[in-house]
Amino acid sequence: MTRTFALGLALGWAALASPAAAKDLMGVACSAPAPVHCAASGCGPAELADLGNAVETNSGRKFFLDYPCDLKPGEKVTFVLSLHGGGSIGNWQRHYFPLIDLKEKYRLVIATPSGTRNGWNPEMDDQYLRDIVTEVEGAVGKGNIKAFWLAGHSLGGQTSNRLLATEFFRSRLTGWVSLSGGRLGSKREAVRAPIPTGSGGPGGPPPPPPGTPPGAPMRLAADASVLPDFPFSHIYETGEHELTAAGLPGGSKWAEKLKCQAQAKPTTVVDAKAGYVQDTRPQPNPNPVWGGPARPGSARIYAYPKCEGGRVVADVVRLDKGHTEGLEPNVTEAIVKLMMAAK
């Protein structure tokens, strides 16, 4: 442990020594609304260029740390590490999956970093992510974290799936929220329609490596069809247009592994407000699979009841949406409620 890191931990513990100090976690002052919060109309270049309000001490890299402004010493919280997709950045992820608007209500501590070159590189980013988790645990108090969730969009979801197989994350994990980033027990081609060529404009989905045969499967950070050998909760969210023509599967191999009951009749969540973000880059090939403007809508939630150990398995399908429209407020809260229900 470096001297700087040890000092950071000591300051973190000291920050919880009194109610007043609890408002300055890891040297980060709390505010409501959360800092660098985008307008309802979306995020501008200035917001997206901001890398965060906290600093991971070992690397000196920034990240966003959001927590309840009225956090009390010794209070139990849910900690979420939220990872953006390829070609994206941390503040876009904060608004794509806007947990920041629910941090007080559900007592959430959320760390949202930015990966190397807008992606997640094991050699350059894994230690950074582990250090973020360790430092937040030190500041909040590891015993005060009642649940730890990985959440990630697209490549961030695949990266979450890769990370949870490592001992560091496995030993902490309550669950994984996959935002179009892999559905446990399902092969990618069984649940994901191909992303049309030209989607995403400059910096969009990377082309396959040279020499890749036409039609070959995309190289993934982790294969969600391979079931982990330990139990945890899993929530899969996707846009309706991302699914194949067959639609959402009627069963789940992960739910079977956790001895859940069969997929229940879906419930519907309606949103009158749009999400914050969308892909605003010029689109050479606009299409519903990639996604269009952020807008109101509705979603269906398919739960698998009574899973072993009180765990949660559920699928969330946002109707008439694709890969890049930010989540609306009510469906975001519905996912958080599922997270809170997991033991």
- The pLDDT value recorded for residue 271 is 98
CATH number reported for the structural domain that contains residue 155 in this entry: 3.40.50
Whether the Cβ atoms of residue 258 and residue 303 lie closer than 8 Å to each other: no
64 or 31, higher pLDDT: 64
Look at residue 337 and tell me if it is in a domain: no
- The pLDDT value recorded for residue 14 is 36
3-state secondary structure 195-207: CCCCCCCCCCCCC
pLDDT at 67 over 80: yes
Look at residue 173 and tell me if it is in a domain: yes
- The pLDDT value recorded for residue 10 is 36
Q: pLDDT confidence of 32, banded at 50, 70, 90?
A: confident
pLDDT at 16 over 80: no
Q: pLDDT confidence of 211, banded at 50, 70, 90?
A: low
Q: pLDDT confidence of 220, banded at 50, 70, 90?
A: confident
- The pLDDT value recorded for residue 218 is 57
Ranking 6-15, 62-71, 90-99, 200-209 by mean pLDDT, the lowest is: 6-15
Residue 152 to residue 84: CA distance in whole angstroms:
6
Q: At 153, phi and psi to the nearest 5? A: -100, 130
Look at residue 113 and tell me if it is in a domain: yes
Q: How many structural domains compose the chain? A: 1
- The pLDDT value recorded for residue 217 is 55
What digits encode the pLDDT tens for the residues 112-147? 999 998 899 999 999 999 999 999 999 999 999 999
Look at residue 328 and tell me if it is in a domain: no
Average pLDDT over residues 77-93: 96
The SS3 call for residue 235 is strand
pLDDT at 268 over 90: yes
Neighbours of 250 (CB within 10 A): 9
- The pLDDT value recorded for residue 17 is 35
- The pLDDT value recorded for residue 13 is 36
The answer to whether the predicted template modeling score (pTM) of the entire model surpasses 0.75 is yes
Look at residue 126 and tell me if it is in a domain: yes
Neighbours of 72 (CB within 10 A): 13
pLDDT at 22 over 60: no
- The pLDDT value recorded for residue 50 is 95
Q: Which residues pair with 315 in a beta bridge?
A: 236, 302
Query: Which residue carries 């010029």 as its tokens?
Result: 282
For residue 95, the enclosing domain spans 3-193+219-235+243-260
Look at residue 209 and tell me if it is in a domain: no
Q: Which residues pair with 80 in a beta bridge?
A: 110, 149
What contacts 60, CB < 8 A, 6 or more positions away?
Answer: none
- The pLDDT value recorded for residue 281 is 87
Whether the Cβ atoms of residue 276 and residue 263 lie closer than 8 Å to each other: no
Query: Which residue carries 């699914």 as its tokens?
Result: 243
Percent of the chain with pLDDT over 90: 80
- Six-digit token pair at 28? 């980060």
State how far Cα 101 lies from the chain centre.
14
- The pLDDT value recorded for residue 283 is 86
Whether the Cβ atoms of residue 112 and residue 63 lie closer than 8 Å to each other: yes
- The pLDDT value recorded for residue 215 is 54
pLDDT at 202 over 60: no
Look at residue 207 and tell me if it is in a domain: no
Look at residue 211 and tell me if it is in a domain: no
Q: pLDDT confidence of 21, banded at 50, 70, 90?
A: very low
Average pLDDT over residues 40-60: 93
- The pLDDT value recorded for residue 209 is 46
Percent of the chain with pLDDT over 70: 88
pLDDT at 42 over 90: no
- The pLDDT value recorded for residue 47 is 92
